[in-house]
Structure 1
Amino acid sequence: MTSAALPLPDLPQMTRDVRALIEIESPSEDLAAVGRVQDRVETWMHELGAQTRRLPGQVRQFTFGEASRPALILMHADTVWPHGTLASMPFRTEGERLYGPGSYDMKGGIVSALHALRLLQAGGWPAGGIEVLLSADEETGSLLSREAVEAAARRARCVLVVEPPVGETHALKTGRKGVGMYSVRVTGVAAHAGNLPEQGASAISEAARLLLEAQALARPERGTTVSVGRIMGGGAVNVIPAHAEFDADLRVSVLEEAERLRRGFEALRPHDPRARLTLSGGLNRPPFERLAGTAALYAQAQRHAHVLGFEVQEAFVGGGSDGNYTAPLSPTLDGLGAPGDGAHAAHEHIRLDRWPQHAALLAALLRDPGVE
């Protein structure tokens, strides 16, 4: 079957399927709730004839065909939205937009994969087979699932990530920044702020100086950012504070910048010798660099999209995904999920008028990714 022969999937059924997932709230911290989404998807995959395994790290694996050197689909069942969000953000459609928590990121992507597989089922699975991994903790860094994701990537012909394309441009993602975090804890010396302030060593003052030093490690011209997003410390106002801490988000475009940041954070020292510093953290997701395999996948996606009657662009983005783990191991293309906008925001939505085309593009790439 060529991409020209692929029909578009049935949009009303896609809409019903994504509603079923959206109305199962699945915040990352509630693995039982995330498991209920995985159960629903597992039922659908069984109906398609998948062989199913439950892997360590609460990962569901679905395989189709011989799966000797499969095309690998990555998707996750967790969302950033807490329980109770549906009360203020219910599932709804307005014109060409479908709203709901987790719709765009990435329950719509799960349904895109489901319907791409349905398109391929009748014609038989491609040589090498297809493997699908559905994880439970992508939004919190994939600490449980990373090992399974990387192992699958090593045996894969290519990796197709059904995170959403980029906003209103609907561009595919051919690169992502690496993501990490450092936590800096400062211990000072408490003292009475009125009677004996000189006997104290302010942890807050030290943390404030260190925070500025940490942020000065950024190199925006190289795509490297350092942003302190959380700081806390102290207690009673009339006490020289003995404790303060801050957490810094870091993003890097190339791996050597992560090493430079590591050295920079490790070189941080309190100005007051009575204070002590404790450092933890580091790079979580390596950079997803646009290597030759990704470029070949993107070029093939352009060809398939043209046959399907639309055009695609590419983008490099600052946020991470499981594609960051797989890109160094296997040709990886990201952003193959549901088009729309508003990830992690109240206006999160899917563009219904473009969604079937993107699902058909995913099916075409699964059939013919253009890489060996």
Structure 2
Amino acid sequence: MSSFGPSAALDALHRYTLHESPTGDRRALAALADVLDADAARAGFDTARESHPSGDHLVWTLPARGVPGDPVLLLTHYDTVWPVGTLSGMPWSVEGDVVRGPGVYDTKAGIVALLAAAARVERQGAPHPEIRVLVVADEEIGSPTATGLVRAEAARARAVLGLEPPHPGGDLKTGRRGSTRVRIEVTGVEAHAALDPDAGVNAIDELVDQLVRLRALVRGRPVLLNTGTIAGGGRTNVVAGAAHVELGLRFTDPDDEDAVLAGLRSLHPVRDRARLDARLLSHRPTWRPDEAGAHLLDRIVGVAADLGQRLAGRPADGAADTNTTGALGRPTVDGLAPPGGGAHARQEWVSAAGIDARSDLLAALFTGLHTEAASRGDGA
């Protein structure tokens, strides 16, 4: 890893891609985690893990060299949306600048660029602050077990850099919609649908009424509500005794987010003897652009310009762990993974040249953010 050049970067991405790593597959995640930890150690990081039944979160530390103070925090993940076996129909390939394979864009190429940058900085002996990296195992389902760790690390970070894919063309992300996954479960009372219907309580009918209530709650607000899955009942001659739905909600305004989530918490059964349980499966708060993030973006754009790279930034619709850090008010910019396209799609691809360019940028940020901050006197 210490001689991490263009060919070595592609070799590393190839190895990571062949280790398919779907969210929740602990065995597959553990196999890739071992490879990542070994490469991180060779790049100069101290490695540790926070263990969870669904997959370990990797915590890497590049000790400060000559720059005291709070660390720079980088956020990325090694789980993908692709099940084991996807490679058979979506194989690794390199055609010119286009690299294809499950997870190459979202976001294994980001990990490659990060490790290449760290290895270069360590090889050169350049001064830098402490670099902390969280490599999350369940980001693709909202980081239900990682969010507490993200919050704790963000609380002491001078800046947060997200290694999610950028906007098309490579621009960075300065805000994100809030994203919440909700499960509503209804328990009714089974009965014969013809002989004794009044003895039953239909869980499906109750669930439908609750969905109507929820639709009314979001109506007129800039809130996206998607019914992802719904199931219940069993036979047409039996009053349904159970039903459930999983919903996805997206927010642009924290006030709308608070109102809708409060409404969810206050849902109560319409029917006597029905029982209702509504709970959050994952929650990422709305991250709105702010002054701290704008200042960090300006600094990143300036460092990029010194490398001959032109960058800009704007908010994004998708959610990630940077929702958490941005909502906490920590200076946050995301989208620093290499450019490409097709996230979560069969045509997923990443730019080989983009990996090298992002590695150059990350190395310059590791060694340059603190010096620019000092020259401006903000100490960040």
TM over 0.5: yes
Secondary structure at 1:296 match in 2: helix
Query: Any conservation in 1 of the 2:292–2:329 contact (CA below 8 Å)?
Result: no
1:65 aligns with 2:60: no
Q: Counterpart in 1 of 2:376?
A: none
Q: Counterpart in 1 of 2:346?
A: 346
Q: Counterpart in 2 of 1:31?
A: 26
Secondary structure at 2:181 match in 1: strand
Compare 120-129 and 15-24 and name the one that shifted more: 120-129
1:48 aligns with 2:31: no
Distance 1:307 1:172 in 2: 17
Distance 1:52 1:189 in 2: 52
Q: Counterpart in 2 of 1:142?
A: 143
AA in 1 matched with 2:108: K
Count of paired positions: 362
In structure 1, runs of 5+ residues without a counterpart are 1-8
Query: Any conservation in 1 of the 2:293–2:333 contact (CA below 8 Å)?
Result: yes
Distance 2:130 2:361 in 1: 17
Query: Any conservation in 2 of the 1:56–1:145 contact (CA below 8 Å)?
Result: no
Query: Any conservation in 1 of the 2:221–2:256 contact (CA below 8 Å)?
Result: no
Q: Counterpart in 2 of 1:361?
A: 361
Q: Counterpart in 2 of 1:175?
A: 175
1:193 aligns with 2:188: no
Query: Any conservation in 1 of the 2:79–2:140 contact (CA below 8 Å)?
Result: yes
Secondary structure at 2:230 match in 1: strand
Q: After the TM superposition, which segments of 4 or more aligned residues of structure 1 sit over 4 Å from their partners?
A: none
1:248-287, CA deviations, whole angstroms, 9 ceiling, x for partnerless residues? 1112223332221122223434443343322222761122
Query: Any conservation in 1 of the 2:178–2:251 contact (CA below 8 Å)?
Result: yes
Secondary structure at 2:194 match in 1: coil
Residues 232 and 287 (structure 1 numbering): CA distance in 2 closer, same or farther, change over 3 Å? same
AA in 2 matched with 1:62: W
Distance 2:252 2:20 in 1: 33
Distance 1:49 1:188 in 2: 58
Residues 283 and 107 (structure 1 numbering): CA distance in 2 closer, same or farther, change over 3 Å? closer
AA in 1 matched with 2:44: G
Distance 2:57 2:295 in 1: 29
Distance 1:92 1:303 in 2: 34
In structure 2, runs of 5+ residues without a counterpart are 374-379
Root-mean-square deviation (CA, aligned residues, Å) is 2.2
Secondary structure at 2:124 match in 1: coil
TM superposition score normalised by structure 1: 0.89
Q: Counterpart in 1 of 2:377?
A: none
Matching of residues 311-322 of structure 1 within 5 Å: 311-322=310-321
Distance 1:45 1:275 in 2: 53
Compare 33-42 and 65-74 and name the one that shifted more: 65-74
Q: How far is the alpha carbon of 1:231 from its aligned partner?
A: 0.8
Distance 2:150 2:270 in 1: 43
Query: Any conservation in 1 of the 2:110–2:355 contact (CA below 8 Å)?
Result: no
Residues 55 and 190 (structure 1 numbering): CA distance in 2 closer, same or farther, change over 3 Å? closer
Query: Any conservation in 2 of the 1:174–1:334 contact (CA below 8 Å)?
Result: yes
Query: Any conservation in 1 of the 2:165–2:336 contact (CA below 8 Å)?
Result: yes
1:255 aligns with 2:260: no
Give the % identical residues: 35
TM superposition score normalised by structure 2: 0.87
Q: How far is the alpha carbon of 1:169 from its aligned partner?
A: 2.8
